[in-house]
Amino acid sequence: MRGIFGLALILALAVNTVSAFSNKVFLIRHGEKPANHNVTGLSAQGEERAQCLRHVFGASSGYDIGYIIVEDYKSDGSRDRPYETVEPLAKDLGLTIDHHCSKDDTKCAKDSIKSYADNNNGNILVCWEHQELGKIGAALGGKFDYPSDHFNLIYEIYHKDLTSNSPYSENCPGLDN
């Protein structure tokens, strides 16, 4: 019996250290995609959103983004939307986009975020495919389902939980639902 309680205590402590850091994590979906789903890259609206995010998360925004992580893209150009969505912002901020985790590797994303947070104070921007984005959020302590018909929502995780105002809009003029 005592062994079960000891194991439960160890597991509880492990769960509590999953994302025990003070950085804020902002999770967004990639920009709009072309109507033809066989075409890679962003649509014209997606390109507009990428430009808008330069202002939403830029240096004067107060978001204090120090790290940007996106799913890895393939050499044929597929899965490149998250990268293309944050590329203008990353250039403005002088940041290199981390794109070494595959789309469905939640553990890689969580571990990369935690590794950055363990050594840095800046906040974190995650841009991913919407279904996997919710899984990453859950791994960080903030479970949510990103609606498939939206591209404008920001989910914010702080101290292993969604903030009370999550989700909220990026407020990109002419683009947001």
Residue with token string 């791994």: 139
17-72 pLDDT per residue, tens? 444 689 999 999 999 999 998 888 999 999 999 999 999 999 999 999 999 999 99
Q: What is the pLDDT of residue 163?
A: 93
Q: Domains in the chain, start-ordered, CATH in brackets? A: 21-169 (3.40.50.1240)
2-23 pLDDT per residue, tens? 555 444 444 444 444 444 689 9
135-168 pLDDT per residue, tens? 999 999 999 999 999 999 999 999 999 999 999 9
Q: Would the CA dihedral through 139, 79, 37, 89 be positive or negative?
A: positive
